[in-house]
Amino acid sequence: MKETILISQSFHIEEGDFEKAGTATEKIREILKSLGIKPDIVRRVSVAVFEAEMNICMYAHSPGNVLFNLTDLKIEVQVTDCGVGIPDLEKAMQKGWSTATDEMRELGFGAGLGLPNMKENSNTFRIESEPDKGTRVIMTFDYL
């Protein structure tokens, strides 16, 4: 059966701006709530997108983008940056692994749980990264 995109929206993520981080998450949350998507799904999508947004803000050294697609079958979110990339994805996916600075840790980040959290909260999770090219996280969520 052919999959149909019902809503497609793109949101900008600013580089290094902790104050503004979370705006894409907030907008996606509003869309999902207004569509009457189950609260548990809204929560899972929000957690996963927020973690991805924070990572770009803190580590990418480039702006980024969130592409949100709602289809008749699933929610798909692609979070992309053209930044420094992740040299060792296997390490980055491990719980507790982090390159956060002391300053980030003082703000409560750097537990090394963001990527594992994205994986746990999504139904499918894929990450692609290339040093000096950037990083893309693609997650889907079943909502039906």
Handedness of CA 31, 12, 64, 82 (dihedral sign): positive
- State the minimum distance, in angstroms, from the CB of residue 80 to ligand ATP: 9
DSSP per-residue letters across 40-52: HHHHHHHHHHHHH
Residue with smallest beta-carbon separation from ligand ATP: 114
**Rounded CA separation 82/13 (Å):** 12
- State the minimum distance, in angstroms, from the CB of residue 55 to ligand ATP: 3
- State the minimum distance, in angstroms, from the CB of residue 125 to Mg ion: 14
β-pair type (124-130, 134-142): antiparallel
Residues making contact with ligand ATP (CB under 6 A): 51, 55-56, 59-60, 81, 83-84, 86, 92, 97-100, 109-115, 135
| 64 lies in the binding site for Mg ion (CB under 5 A) | no
Burial class of residue 12 in the structure, from the number of CB atoms within 10 Å of its CB (0-12 exposed, 13-18 middle, 19+ buried):
exposed
Residue 110 partner contact from Mg ion, ligand ATP, none using kind-dependent CB cut-offs of 5 to 8 Å: ligand ATP
Residue 122 partner contact from ligand ATP, Mg ion, none using kind-dependent CB cut-offs of 5 to 8 Å: none
Asked whether 70 and 89 are in contact (CB, 8 A), the reply is no
* From candidates 55, 80, 129, 140, binder to Mg ion by CB under 5 A: 55
Residues 98-137 that bind Mg ion (CB under 5 A): 114
